[in-house]
Structure 1
Amino acid sequence: MNDKAKRVKYLRALEKAANRFALALKKEDFSDSIFASSIEQNLKLLNKCEPVYLDSTYSKELENFVNLCCFSQLDRFELISKFNTLEKIKKQNQYKKTKHKNQLYDNLFS
């Protein structure tokens, strides 16, 4: 398997784990035992793929969030806020195309 395929597989596994953690954290009937079983399932998923070097800010923060969920003793609300900042970073990288770009220039020069 080449490097790009390994990277994509690792990123998909990280995103899947992060989304599972977020769903477990945001449930109304949150319990530590259910979250612990979620950690075990996600660790099995992550152990299947080989970790690779990540260079973008989003992917680094994604990896940090998953590691925090798995290996730290932060409480539920701190983890939710970390996930929310992760989502902010993800949305910053997306952009909207201006629909009528030519009209903008026409208004400036007329």
Structure 2
Amino acid sequence: MQEKEQRVKYVRALERFVKSAAALLKREDFNLELFILRMQKNYTVLSKVPAVSLDSPYTRALEDYVNFVLETIKNPQEKEVVLQVLLKEANAIQKLKTTSSYKKNKHRSKIYDDGY
């Protein structure tokens, strides 16, 4: 059970980091300096949780995004370029999460209609 608890804590910490980054990126008054400071603070919280090996594509994408944000912070570029690239990646992660959710097949009876 210890391993499962560590995995859940690590995934939740990654999700918190990504949600915080996405929320800051979506603001109309985006400030790059504030973004860098908040991401450094979020990384200190994330670094307290021991890293665990992740298997699902969604969790791997979370981990890759965190590493991508940290690399972007170390080498800041233009504000607009950073905003567009990071926001695009955050949206791709959100899309990856929602595609794995259950979707009801609406007209299921028409598929199996054999004339009876």
TM-score normalised to the size of structure 2?
0.83
* Other-structure match for 1:78: 85
What is the aligned length? 109
The letter of the residue matching 1:60 is R
Q: Equivalences for 1:1-110 in 2 at 5 Å?
A: 2-72=2-72, 73=75, 75-98=82-105, 103-104=109-110, 107-110=113-116
Which 5+ residue runs of structure 2 have no aligned equivalent? none
Shift of 1:68: 1.0
TM-score normalised to the size of structure 1?
0.87
Q: Give the distance between the partners of 2:45 and 2:87, measured in 1 at CA.
A: 21
Shift of 1:98: 3.8
- 1:64 and 1:107, CA in 2 relative to 1: closer, same or farther beyond 3 A? same
Structure 1, residues 16-60: CA drift from partner, whole Å, max 9, x if none? 010000011111111111101111221111011000000100100
Structure 1, residues 60-89: CA drift from partner, whole Å, max 9, x if none? 001111111122246110000011111111
Shift of 1:109: 4.6
Which 5+ residue runs of structure 1 have no aligned equivalent? none
The letter of the residue matching 2:15 is E
- 1:54 and 1:106, CA in 2 relative to 1: closer, same or farther beyond 3 A? closer
